[in-house]
Amino acid sequence: MKEIILTTFNARYTHTSIALRYLYANLREIQDKALIFESVINTNVADAAEQILKHQPRIVGIGAYIWNALEIQELISILKKVSPNTFVILGGPEASHLPHRVDFSKADYIIQGEGEDAFYTLSRRLLNGDLPEERLIKAPMVDLSAIVLPYDFYSDHDVKHRYCYVEASRGCPFTCEFCLSSADKRVRDIPMERFIGELEKLWQRGVRNFKFIDRTFNLSIENATRLLDFFLSQEEEYFVHFEVIPDHFPKALREKIAKFPPAALQLEVGIQTLDPNISQNIHRRLNVEKIEENLAFLQNETHAHLHVDLIVGLPGESIEGFGRNLNRLHALTQCEIQIGILKKLSGTTLSRHDEIYGMVYSDKPPYDIVQNDLIPFALMQKMKRFARFWDMVYNSGNFKRSCELLWKETEVFEGFYAFSEWLYDQTESTWQISLDRLAELIFRYLCEVLNYEKEAIKTRLIEDVMTVRGRKMPSFLRDNYVPRNENDENTIKVNKRQLKHANA
């Protein structure tokens, strides 16, 4: 039996919650009374509640995020109905900022801000029978040089089967209005010697997938190069993910990045828009010339896998403007272009545009935009389907050769928009479309609508299918398929999304 249960619903099974481990690591003398219990969204919430309550806890600490807010609401309701004397303490980004657009009213306490110290203090008081009167607790920023780091509390199972998230810093110096990170404008670093020591321990335990959650990895070039040196010194295969700002790649950083082998380094590059007027409107710094220069370097002179972002629905940006951004960005990089739909998060200042631009958002998580003065509801629906199909066809890397035929050379948006419309007419769905069916639909569109020659398209689709060894050939392509030699060096041996983009 444990008196304190720390819990959340992760977005996927392969994810872990670094936040819960931070809380657990800093419980000091009451740590042995606590247990971490993680679930996954779309599982049965009552089953999760059952697993929590079998410990008969006095305190349940819950992390609330945009992806699990509805599950958290249901979990709190069940816990308080079944075990009303159990204290429910809520924290996380979705709880930290008002207004709450999901009903968290049944939670006993809500910690707003960084919870490592505040959760310990509150839990100790509750266990001692000292009940604070204030329900909302505003937690100050913690001292990153003093708190206990969480990495010892990744289990052996986590190390073997899941991503181990890490952070070398917190905060972001920029003021992008759609992003919660802009609320913490001061970047605070964890002392690098201490952090490198933690990375070394994780490496010795067998961790080979590292996902950094820092918002501005390349803000401090000294720290960034030290971290890159750590990974470059390793002899075994690994995967490391960083989120970078797009206009800050000085020579020292470029030299390090160029040394990484294929599929080892992934850089998430936040672009959002390439229109200076739109960028200025949302207080996002934009140096287009520097961005183009850096993307060209990353694309042409490194093996880094790029994941760049564009957003649909920004205040003042039309669909035509978004289309120009996509065409321009695709000309710069052939790696993943993540198309996001604008969301209005509590705690941001995005609402100041609502009346001016007719911004209307969903009341349910993830609070994505429904329409604005330039993009009516029906067109926004089409763009949401566009984004989903783009991810399935282009970003997946499964059809890199074939999908380039969906558009004329400089008209990526126009060509894929037409395909997206046709694809939805055929499927009436954006989900549960098998890979084989998707391949056949692409074949039909290229041949029936764009009038490509059937045998040439079959050959190209076979090349796409064969980028991953062991993938089953769709039935409509089997008569054209001639098996390759098992040692063919052009065949990817493992199903790595990054390598599928590189091989194309």
Secondary structure (DSSP) of 466-499: TTBTTPPPPGGGGGG--PPPTT-TTSBSS--HHH
Secondary structure (DSSP) of 198-216: HHHHHHHHT--EEEE--S-
The pTM of the full predicted model, rounded to 2 decimals, is: 0.91
Residue 489 has pLDDT above 50, yes or no: no
Residue 492 has pLDDT above 50, yes or no: no
Res 490: pLDDT: 44
Distance CA 123, CA 147 (A): 17
Residue 6 has pLDDT above 90, yes or no: yes
Dihedral sign for Cα atoms in the order 371, 372, 373, 379 = negative
SS3 content of the chain, % helix, strand, coil (to 5): 45, 15, 40
Question: Helix (H, G, I), strand (E, B), or coil: what is residue 243?
Answer: strand
The H-or-E segment that residue 265 falls in is: strand 265-272
Per-domain residue ranges for the chain? 4-138, 163-375, 396-504
Burial grade of 78 (CB within 10 A; 0-12, 13-18, 19 or more): middle
CATH top class, domain 163-375? alpha beta
Res 493: pLDDT: 45
What does the pLDDT look like over 92-107, one tens digit per residue? 999 999 999 999 999 9
Res 498: pLDDT: 66
Distance CA 145, CA 290 (A): 34
Distance CA 153, CA 38 (A): 13
Asked whether the beta carbons of 384 and 341 are under 8 A apart, the reply is: yes
**Region 228-254: what's the mean pLDDT?**
94
Residue pointed to by tokens 């989120």: 243
**Region 321-329: what's the mean pLDDT?**
97
CATH top class, domain 4-138? alpha beta
**Region 6-28: what's the mean pLDDT?**
97
Question: Helix (H, G, I), strand (E, B), or coil: what is residue 282?
Answer: coil
Structure tokens at 388: 């989903």
Residue 19 identity: A
What does the pLDDT look like over 111-125, one tens digit per residue? 999 999 999 999 999
Residue 392 has pLDDT above 50, yes or no: yes
